[in-house]
Amino acid sequence: MPAGQHEWRMLIRTGDQRYRIVSPVNGCGADTGVRHGESGIPAFNIIHACDCVEGMRRMEEESVDIIVTSPPYNIGKNYRSHNDRMPRDAYLDWMETVADEACRILKDDGSFFLNVGGKPSDPWIPFDVVQKFRNRYVLQNVIHWIKSIAIEKAAAGNYDAIRGDIAVGHYQPVNSDRYLSQCHEHIFHFTKSGNVTLDKLAVGVRYQDKTNIGRWKQATRDLRDRGNVWFIPYTTIRTSRPHPTTFPDKLPEMCIRLHGCDETTVVLDPFMGIGSTAVAATRLGVRFIGFEIDAEYRAVAHERIKEINDRDRES
């Protein structure tokens, strides 16, 4: 074993505070709905002040319908309560632990949507992470989250609604003459069997060419399968972002709708951040459970959820 490798693996097992992995000190507090020594499902519709591995270990087997999450990518982002510069082996060991616990609590007909990306100088990260899930799940779908796209009019076709070249979305330039700007990330859709039925038309799109309606057996209305390429831009904000890597609320909303949901559905986000998954679940009227170690991120998330609930009460 290379020098230092044993030390880093011990940090994973003992939960060194610098990496916030499974430390009892950073476990679930008594005011969060999950108490030390308890087992079972944590309280619904709460973001628990809890390390995600510790929280999942306290949950019952097969108690969650849908997991939607985006863990830290380990690319050096400045999180308030997590070191995003872990050694690669330690990071991947952590992701493997997350995969293990998530598999145990996911229902046999459940879906796990994992959004993970890399950076221009290190594009292997999502592929390294997904290998840690390979022995536990079937990779049923790979969804491509498009954040920015440019389409020339000539390539788009002759449609009245498209009158010129299109360049839309959140484009982030890269200061390099070697690397391309990253306009896309992966959403890996894992299931236990590979046979989970999806509600594909719940996230369907209308036909551009209406002559397709009725052309084949399943095309009975003006709605088709969206496919595995989803254009979801960020909402433009004029203030600084309270979290360095949050995904748009629409992303978890579409994942939940694709799997299928009702008022009995339980959605988990082990890395809740500022609450995008909780916001999506609240809007859809489904129950959620979240884990988040950072108090400021939790506060932002709870305020966002409160705003939705207040609007619903007023309407």
Domains assigned to the chain: 42-314 (3.40.50.150)
Cβ burial, residue 301 (10 Å; 0-12/13-18/19+) = buried
What does the pLDDT profile of the chain (315 residues) look like in tens digits? 333 333 333 333 333 333 333 333 234 653 444 443 345 568 999 999 999 999 999 999 999 999 999 999 898 667 666 777 899 999 999 999 999 999 999 999 999 999 999 989 999 999 999 999 999 999 999 999 999 999 999 898 887 778 899 999 988 889 999 999 999 999 999 999 999 999 999 999 998 888 888 888 888 899 999 999 999 998 765 555 565 457 899 999 999 999 999 999 999 999 999 999 999 999 999 999 999 999 999 999 999 999 999 988 887
Q: Record the pTM.
A: 0.85
Nearest to 77 by CA among 240, 244, 234: 244
Rg of the chain on CA atoms, in Å = 21
DSSP secondary structure letters along 26-52: GS--TTTT--TT--SPPPTTEEESS-H
